[in-house]
């Protein structure tokens, strides 16, 4: 089933390439204007040969595996030699990879930054060495030399998460929690978008009572939620800024026998499967703010290639609109069809 979901995501991307942003994909995603009129000419046909380093956030996360798969596929299509590395959610690891890629004299580097402050000096060093640096998924806001960023409109995603939580709490209202990861710029944007809408639009009977940092670790998310449920057994809904946080939260909610609902963020196959299982995990994990990892991967490759050929990119920031996945969305778009 996981292979089928992965195939659906990739097919949706390749048939509607260039959504407006870095995180909407599957069968109901919107098309993007970025690169829609470019001819698909490979590096080999142009007589050029490029070597590009790509550093994903962590291969422990399905989301980044989907991005890496799309990067490799697009590089094969264009004729770029892709050198892919696992960032291991560690700025030191990412910095070491960047130093290694500089030593290999690659033509460009693209990475999903896991800690903007921590990896910033390595990015500046690569730029000083004449190697252009791009980011995807999570930007690096501490430096000015990034050529182009391709990523989900995460503020918008956080806003959608808040609106979905308000909807789920309904007229009776209740308490809400958010599981964030402030070291990641993208997760921080999601958190800020969520809190902003909660402050502006939540009715008086809805209160954000808990805010925690799960550091990208499902086990930490589980511990946070366990503590929250001890303090408030009637906690109504949790917005998790990444699917790993959802899996940890789900385990603690089930163990506590609570009715707390989960709104996730990513749109990974595991989330779609959980939401679809109405008599199982779908009783708690009910909604998802979806990104499009395959489109992120293919788009960043296209922007790197365009820059290496022309010295230009379509835009310095290419956002992709997120959208909400519910059980009804899954059914209407046949996301779980055999």
Which of 13-17, 79-83, 303-307 shows the lowest mean pLDDT across its residues? 13-17
Write down the CATH number for the domain with range 154-290.
Answer: 3.40.50.2300
Domain ranges of the chain: 2-149+293-321, 154-290
Confidence of residue 184 (pLDDT cuts 50, 70, 90): confident
Average pLDDT, the chain: 87
Rounded to two decimals, the pTM is 0.70
58 contacts: CB under 8 Å, gap ≥ 6: 64, 86, 87, 88, 89, 114, 216
Helix (H, G, I), strand (E, B) or coil at 135: strand
Check for a shared fold between 2-149+293-321 and 154-290: yes
CA distances 78 to 34, 45, 66, 132, Å, are 17, 9, 18, 19
In CATH terms, the fold of domain 2-149+293-321 is Rossmann fold (3.40.50)
State how far the Cα of 70 lies from the Cα of 82, in Å rounded to an integer. Answer: 11
Q: pLDDT higher for 1 or 102?
A: 102
Task: Please tell me the distance from the alpha carbon of residue 175 to that of residue 235, in angstroms, as a whole number.
Answer: 5
Question: What is the distance between the alpha carbons of residues 335 and 321, in angstroms, rounded to a whole number?
Answer: 19
Contact present, 18 and 31 (Cβ < 8 Å): yes
Q: Alpha-carbon torsion 243, 281, 295, 158, what sign?
A: negative
For the chain, list the strands marked E by DSSP.
51-56, 81-86, 108-111, 133-136, 146-152, 174-180, 206-213, 237-240, 261-266, 285-290, 317-320, 323-325
Q: What confidence tier does 114 reach under pLDDT thresholds 50, 70, 90?
A: confident
Question: What is the total residue count of the chain?
Answer: 338
Residue 33 has pLDDT above 50, yes or no: no
């Amino acid at each position: 089933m996981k292979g089928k979901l992965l195939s659906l995501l990739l097919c949706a991307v390749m048939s509607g390439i260039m959504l407006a942003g870095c995180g909407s994909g599957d069968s109901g995603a919107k098309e993007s204007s970025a690169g829609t009129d470019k001819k698909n000419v490979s590096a080999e046909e142009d007589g050029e040969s490029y070597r590009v380093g790509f550093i994903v956030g962590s291969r422990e996360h399905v989301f980044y595996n989907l991005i890496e798969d799309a990067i490799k596929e697009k590089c094969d299509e264009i004729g770029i030699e892709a050198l892919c590395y696992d960032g291991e959610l560690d700025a030191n690891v990412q910095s070491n990879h960047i130093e290694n890629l500089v030593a290999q004299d690659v033509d460009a580097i693209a990475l999903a930054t896991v800690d903007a402050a921590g990896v910033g000096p390595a990015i500046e060093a690569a730029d000083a060495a004449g190697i252009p640096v791009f980011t995807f998924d999570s930007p690096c806001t501490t430096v000015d030399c990034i050529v182009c960023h391709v990523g989900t409109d995460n503020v918008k995603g956080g806003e959608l998460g808040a609106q979905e939580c308000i909807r789920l709490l309904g007229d009776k209202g209740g308490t809400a929690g958010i599981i964030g990861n402030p070291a990641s710029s993208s997760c921080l944007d999601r958190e800020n978008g969520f809190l902003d809408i909660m402050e502006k639009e939540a009715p008086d009977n809805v209160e954000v009572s808990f805010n925690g940092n799960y550091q990208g670790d499902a086990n930490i998310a589980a511990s946070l939620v366990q503590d929250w449920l001890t303090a408030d057994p009637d906690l109504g809904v949790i917005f998790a800024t990444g699917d790993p946080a959802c899996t940890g939260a789900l385990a603690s909610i089930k163990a506590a026998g609570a009715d707390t609902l989960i709104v996730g963020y990513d749109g990974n196959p595991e989330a779609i499967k959980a939401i679809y299982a109405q008599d199982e995990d779908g009783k708690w994990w009910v909604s998802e703010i979806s990104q499009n990892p395959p489109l992120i991967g293919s788009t960043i490759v296209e922007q790197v290639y365009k820059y290496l050929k022309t010295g230009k990119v379509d835009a310095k920031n290419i956002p992709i609109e997120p959208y909400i996945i519910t059980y009804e969305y899954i059914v209407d778009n046949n996301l779980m069809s055999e």
